[in-house]
Amino acid sequence: MPSPSKDSFEACLGKLEEIVDKLEEPDLPLDQSLKLFEDGIKQARSCEGRLREAEGKVEKLIEENEAFRKEPLDL
């Protein structure tokens, strides 16, 4: 479930990347690390929610337009 924030997916992902960079600092105090980790989890959940919403919209558009078919991506 996305956070109430109106940030775009890209902004949310950018915040998550900043948090990860800070967590990689070698002398980060434990309390600050825990707070950053908690914030990171919130950002990750928000990103995941936005991706699920986007996937749902794409699937709905495909269903409404018979010209498109969903096929597995062969990587």
pLDDT for 72 beyond 90: no
Mean pLDDT of 63-73: 74
Strands (E), 1-75: none
pLDDT tens column, 18-66:
999 999 999 999 999 999 999 999 999 999 999 999 999 988 888 888 7
Per-residue tokens: 36: 């950053």
How far is 28 from 66, CA to CA, in rounded Å?
54
Q: Answer yes or no: pTM beyond 0.75.
A: no
Domain ranges of the chain: 32-63
What lies within 8 Å, CB to CB, of 34 at 6+ separation is none
